[in-house]
């Protein structure tokens, strides 16, 4: 016979919040779905290392789903699917809903740039018969994590006649890779006394790219010359062409299952392609015309502060909404003021090895589902858009009704660290916005880790929001 519950037990069950591992809240069928879904995500992530590739991948995929380029001045109707590609580095997808656009949009926004090492504009040099590229790191990194990691090179070189040359080397079978070197421990006594931000200095993040000299010549810098000749043969470029190039060194290799149980994914660039992919694929998987017009924004430049023509501080998003509103005889500001947004970005997952930086009661845990973050910012919530209780209440009810496994989380203890997302830039346009996303271990490292259950629950959250 079951023991009768005590009054305290009954009260606790009725009044206190209950948290549970996602695997204990999902049945076998849903867990299998989560693993299968993550296979598709890993395929995307292995191919979309930089924003240009993520934009190209998603546009190609969207075309298969019937999306066509948005045309200003054209009339649109429910069921139409359009996209707007901003300079190949940021993209907006819209699925016109049954309700009039004037009733507002359902927006999911994520970023597709990730921390990395960018080549400088005069990158190539030779030192002691070894050739290198000079770099300037992009985004917030722990510089000491980047030496001795195999690197691939992705991006474009634009020649003076406007020709754009795609560079993608280090990630395909048989490709060579590149690397930043580090000192052997035997000789690192002085290096190890440096402050940890200086163990590898910015100007020491030089990428080793070759060591064979050009043979039939007695001129100086023969290794550099030999490399330049290889680059000319392969890409038709001269040294000056680096000036108008964007070349990014990123960790080489494909995403990998982590753990005996394969419950986790280790890869470069989860931040924030994990939210970009879950939002994007949720939009693509919508079976029938959504109630409200659904928008997915995949933006660039978040990691450097969202400035610039492809970042969300630029007006490209607002202009798009203006043009879309115009197609329905409406003005953009009214549409925005009635819109709602899930700003999708990763959050710090509680790391049991480093428990002190997060406050347990308000931290996000891996395998506890998609994380809802009411406010970001630091030191008095500075810089946050701080979602309203009303909007968080609405999202909470929506997720619970659909059986989404979700949790709340903040980015670190009060007065410790902090960080921002694109939420504030969208909220500043008078759009109700809250941060959601996947908890990540070792964020901004060359190898970041997420849990498959969380990835799937994030996809589910976007599906519920936009459908
Ligand atoms: Mn991010
Ligand atoms: Mn980031």
pLDDT reported for residue 417? 74
Domain tally, the chain: 2
Residue 275 alpha carbon to ligand 1 centre in Å: 9
| 9 within domain boundaries | no
In this structure, the answer to whether residues 93 and 171 fall within a common structural domain is: no
Q: Considering every ligand atom, which ligand is closest to the CA of 141? A: 2
Integer Cα distance of 113 and 185 in angstroms: 34
| 317 within domain boundaries | yes
The answer to whether 247 and 123 are in contact (CB under 8 A) is yes
432 φ, ψ to 5°? -60, 120
Q: Could you give the residue ranges of the DSSP H alpha helices within 190-236?
A: 222-235
The answer to whether 450 and 265 are in contact (CB under 8 A) is yes
Residue 154 alpha carbon to ligand 1 centre in Å: 20
Residue 161 alpha carbon to ligand 2 centre in Å: 35
| 349 within domain boundaries | yes
Query: Which CATH number goes with the domain that contains 53?
Result: 3.40.630.10
pLDDT reported for residue 150? 98
- In the listed set 207, 224, 251, which residue is the last one of a domain according to the structure? 251
Q: Considering every ligand atom, which ligand is closest to the CA of 421? A: 1
Query: Strand, helix or coil at 197?
Result: helix
In this structure, the answer to whether residues 205 and 88 fall within a common structural domain is: no
Q: Considering every ligand atom, which ligand is closest to the CA of 437? A: 1
Residue 413 alpha carbon to ligand 1 centre in Å: 18
- In the listed set 225, 251, 277, which residue is the last one of a domain according to the structure? 251
In this structure, the answer to whether residues 297 and 237 fall within a common structural domain is: no
In this structure, the answer to whether residues 167 and 103 fall within a common structural domain is: no
pLDDT tens for the chain, 467 residues: list them.
667 899 999 999 899 888 899 999 999 999 999 999 999 999 999 999 999 999 999 999 999 999 999 999 999 999 999 999 999 999 999 999 999 999 999 999 999 999 999 999 999 999 999 999 999 999 999 999 999 999 999 999 999 999 999 999 999 999 999 999 999 999 999 999 999 999 999 999 999 999 999 987 677 899 999 999 999 999 999 999 999 999 999 999 999 999 999 999 999 999 999 999 999 999 999 999 999 999 999 999 999 999 999 999 999 999 999 999 999 999 999 999 999 999 999 999 999 999 999 999 999 999 999 999 999 888 888 888 899 999 999 999 999 999 999 999 988 888 887 778 899 999 999 999 999 999 999 999 999 999 999 999 999 999 999 99
In total, the chain counts a number of residues equal to 467
pLDDT reported for residue 367? 98
In this structure, the answer to whether residues 337 and 375 fall within a common structural domain is: yes
- Rg of the chain over CA atoms, in angstroms? 24
| 8 within domain boundaries | no
pLDDT reported for residue 302? 97
Place of tokens 């429910």: 78
| 10 within domain boundaries | no
For residue 185, what are its two tokens? 């421990």
Integer Cα distance of 438 and 110 in angstroms: 12
Query: Which CATH number goes with the domain that contains 189?
Result: 2.30.250.10
Residue 62 CA, distance from chain mean position: 19
- In the listed set 251, 281, 303, which residue is the last one of a domain according to the structure? 251
| 403 within domain boundaries | yes
SS3 of 422-437: the string is CHHHHHCCCCEEEEEE
Q: For residue 202, give its domain range.
A: 116-251
**Which DSSP string do the residues of 334-352 spell out, in sequence order?**
HHHHT-EEEEE--EEBP-T
Q: Considering every ligand atom, which ligand is closest to the CA of 272? A: 1
For residue 145, what are its two tokens? 């994590």
Pairing of strands 179-180, 164-169: unpaired
pLDDT reported for residue 19? 85
pLDDT reported for residue 1? 63
In this structure, the answer to whether residues 214 and 109 fall within a common structural domain is: no
Within 8 A by CB and 6+ apart from 197, the residues are 143
In this structure, the answer to whether residues 223 and 295 fall within a common structural domain is: no
Query: Strand, helix or coil at 195?
Result: coil
For residue 296, what are its two tokens? 């997915």
In this structure, the answer to whether residues 197 and 224 fall within a common structural domain is: yes
In this structure, the answer to whether residues 78 and 159 fall within a common structural domain is: no
Residue 444 alpha carbon to ligand 2 centre in Å: 6
For residue 374, what are its two tokens? 């009411």
pLDDT reported for residue 361? 92
Asked if residue 407 has a cis previous peptide bond (ω within 30° of 0), the answer is no
Residue 133 alpha carbon to ligand 1 centre in Å: 27
Residue 389 alpha carbon to ligand 2 centre in Å: 26
In this structure, the answer to whether residues 240 and 285 fall within a common structural domain is: no
Give pTM, 2 decimals: 0.96
Residue 443 alpha carbon to ligand 1 centre in Å: 9
| 12 within domain boundaries | no
In this structure, the answer to whether residues 453 and 328 fall within a common structural domain is: yes
| 205 within domain boundaries | yes
In this structure, the answer to whether residues 90 and 129 fall within a common structural domain is: no
Residue 116 alpha carbon to ligand 1 centre in Å: 13
Helix or strand run (H / E) with residue 209:
strand 207-210
Helix or strand run (H / E) with residue 90:
strand 90-95
Give the sign of the dihedral formed by CA 203, CA 152, CA 275, CA 265: negative
Integer Cα distance of 361 and 113 in angstroms: 31
Q: Which of 422, 456, 400 is nearest to 274 (CA)?
A: 456
CA distances from 60 to 16, 44, 120, 250, 387 (A): 47, 12, 30, 23, 34
Burial class (CB in 10 A: 0-12, 13-18, 19+), 54: buried
């Amino acid at each position: 016979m079951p023991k009768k519950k005590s009054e305290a037990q009954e009260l606790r069950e009725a009044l206190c919040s209950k948290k549970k591992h996602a695997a204990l809240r999902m049945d076998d069928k849903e867990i299998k779905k989560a693993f299968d879904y993550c296979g598709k995500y890993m395929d995307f992530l292995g191919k979309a290392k930089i924003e240009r590739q993520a934009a190209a991948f998603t546009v190609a995929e969207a075309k298969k789903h019937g999306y066509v380029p948005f045309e200003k001045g054209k009339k649109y109707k429910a069921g139409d699917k359009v996209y707007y590609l901003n300079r190949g580095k940021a993209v907006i997808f819209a699925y016109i809903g049954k309700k009039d656009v004037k009733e507002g949009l359902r927006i999911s926004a994520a970023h597709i740039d990730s921390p990395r090492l960018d080549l400088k504009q005069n990158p190539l040099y030779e030192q002691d018969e070894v050739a290198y590229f000079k770099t300037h790191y992009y985004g917030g990194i722990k510089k000491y994590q980047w030496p001795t990691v195999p690197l691939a090179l992705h991006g474009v070189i634009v020649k003076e006649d406007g020709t754009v040359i795609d560079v993608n080397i280090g990630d395909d079978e048989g490709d060579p890779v590149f690397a930043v070197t580090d000192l052997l421990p035997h000789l690192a006594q002085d290096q190890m006394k440096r402050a940890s931000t200086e163990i590898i200095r910015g100007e020491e993040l030089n990428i080793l790219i070759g060591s064979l000299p050009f043979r039939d010549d007695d001129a100086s810098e023969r290794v550099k010359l030999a490399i330049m000749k290889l680059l000319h043969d392969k890409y038709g470029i001269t040294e000056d062409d680096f000036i108008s190039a964007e070349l990014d060194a990123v960790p080489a290799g494909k995403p990998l299952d982590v753990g005996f149980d394969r419950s986790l994914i280790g890869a470069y660039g989860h931040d924030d392609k994990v939210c970009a992919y879950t939002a994007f694929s949720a939009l693509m998987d919508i079976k029938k015309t959504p109630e409200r017009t659904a928008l997915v924004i995949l933006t660039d430049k978040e990691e450097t502060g969202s400035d610039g023509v492809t970042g969300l501080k630029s007006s490209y998003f607002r202009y798009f909404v203006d043009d879309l509103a115009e197609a329905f005889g409406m003005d953009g500001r009214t549409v925005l003021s009635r819109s709602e947004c899930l700003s999708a970005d990763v959050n710090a997952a509680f790391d049991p090895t480093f428990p002190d930086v997060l406050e347990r009661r308000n931290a996000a845990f891996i395998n506890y589902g998609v994380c809802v973050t009411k406010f970001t910012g630091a030191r008095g919530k500075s810089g946050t858009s701080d979602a309203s209780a009303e909007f968080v209440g609405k999202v909470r009810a929506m997720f619970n009704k659909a059986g989404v496994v979700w949790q709340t989380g903040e980015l670190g203890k009060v007065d410790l660290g902090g960080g921002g997302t694109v939420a504030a830039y969208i909220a500043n346009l008078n759009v109700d916005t809250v941060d959601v996303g996947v908890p990540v271990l070792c964020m901004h490292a060359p190898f970041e880790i997420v849990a498959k259950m969380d990835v799937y629950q994030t996809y589910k959250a976007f599906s519920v929001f936009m459908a």
